[in-house]
Structure 1
Amino acid sequence: MLLYQLVLVLAFDYDIQIMDIGAMIDKLSGDLGDKAYEVSDSLARIGTQEVLEAMIVLLKNANPESRYMAARTLGLMEDNEGGLAAVFEAIKDKENQNQVGELLSVLEGFDVSEYYVALFKLYLFGNFKVSMIAKDLLDHKDFDITHRVIKKATKHWNHYSNNVKHDELYELKKIEVEEIFDDLSDFLDDKQVM
């Protein structure tokens, strides 16, 4: 009998938690209150599949602040792998063009090892803020580098190179990109020797 009561109490607490999660998600939808960051932190700590799915839906909310809070929450979650593709979709979405830098910054909390080329493209073609955040991610995250990745990145560099003004900024970026490609090639050469 005692075990049965314990199960009922736990089930009751679980239902309350489910209701609380729904209420917390609602607080990130639409006009955000002054506790939005605390709610985001709490949802990230909860980190259930329900939270993950709700944040993916929230990435398409009409309110740009809600979209950012959804991305932020996903970035803080421990098991956030299922939300990475949705965050990248939000970054590419024209509706978010004014907040790409903010959305990109949450990628620090994700395993972006398969997204080298996408980040490299943002580094090349993004505005100053986006370019710097993408460069920081490229410099400090681990990536799965292959010859194909280098080939795709080179293709984007050639496209960029053929479509921008060749001024001092271009020359600086060219030096950076050449260093990046040299480092990647050296990495692959060292990897093959092992």
Structure 2
Amino acid sequence: MDEEIQGLIMRMSDPNEKEAFYFADKLGTKLDENSLAEVYKLVKGDNWEIAYLACRALSKSSFNEQSLDVVFEAIYDKKNRPHQGAFVQVLEEFDLSQRFVDIFRVYLFGNFKAQTLAKMYLDEVEFDITPRTLRKVEKHWNHYLHNPEDEGSLELKKQEVVPILEELRELFSED
């Protein structure tokens, strides 16, 4: 791995570094094929702050699109649940048009901040929706219906999700 990239990773990962965001952003602009695996390891690591900064670096990189799977793995990882909202917030730097199902899953199963941000993305992003997207969304919704957080949240979610599902179904209903 290139010395400059190694230095940026060290500065970004230093808990005493006051400019960690700057170094994460700079790392993103310098990332190459050889250093990508190292940044993926940081995303999957045990320190959520470094994982978040690594996600931020990926969002600034030319590997932005292909890195989304790794970022969503960090979002879904149970160890990151208390900080899930931070990981979901970094998604604003990515093209989410192909990720309706992932965002919907975060909306259903994320912590409060993650759900709030996911709802914002659902409302604001222009997604590419296919019949397969609808089937996957319905599968996640059925799972949620049978495993709600609590009865009160189930009613609130129904008020939000049922219109979304109806809108999606209308897209693919035969005239």
For the superposition of Structure 1 and Structure 2, which TM-score range results when normalised by the shorter chain?
A: 0.7 to 0.9
Give, as a single letter, the amino acid of the residue that structure 1 aligns with 2:66.
G
Give matches, 1:68-147, under 5 Å.
68-147=52-131
TM-score (norm 1): 0.77
CA deviations 1:102-152 (Å, max 9, x no partner) are: 111111222333332222122112221111111122222233312222122
In the alignment, what sits opposite 1:4? none
Q: CA RMSD in A?
A: 2.4
Q: Does 1:48 align with 2:41?
A: no
Q: For residues 76-109 of structure 1, give each alpha carbon's deviation from its aligned partner in whole angstroms, at most 9, with x where no partner exists.
A: 2244122111111212222222221111111122
Measure the CA separation in 2 of the matches of 1:121 and 1:107. 14
Q: Please say if residues 13 and 20 of structure 2, whose CA atoms lie closer than 8 Å, have aligned partners that are also in contact.
A: no
Aligned length: 174
Contact residue 107 and residue 116 of structure 2 kept, 8 A: yes
1:169-188 maps to which residues of 2 (within 5 A)? 169-188=153-172
What stretches of structure 1 move > 6 A for 4+ residues in a row? none
Partner of 1:166: 151
Quote the offset at 1:71 in angstroms.
0.7
For the pair shown, which has the larger CA radius of gyration, 1 or 2? 1
The unaligned stretches of length 5 or more in structure 1 are: 1-17
CA distance in 1, matches of 2:36, 2:115: 28
Give me the TM-score of the superposition, normalised by structure 2. 0.85
Which of 109-118 and 70-79 deviates more?
109-118
**Amino acid in structure 2 at the alignment position of 1:123:** Y
Aligned residue identity for 1:130: A
Please, which runs of 5 or more residues in structure 2 have no aligned partner? Answer: none
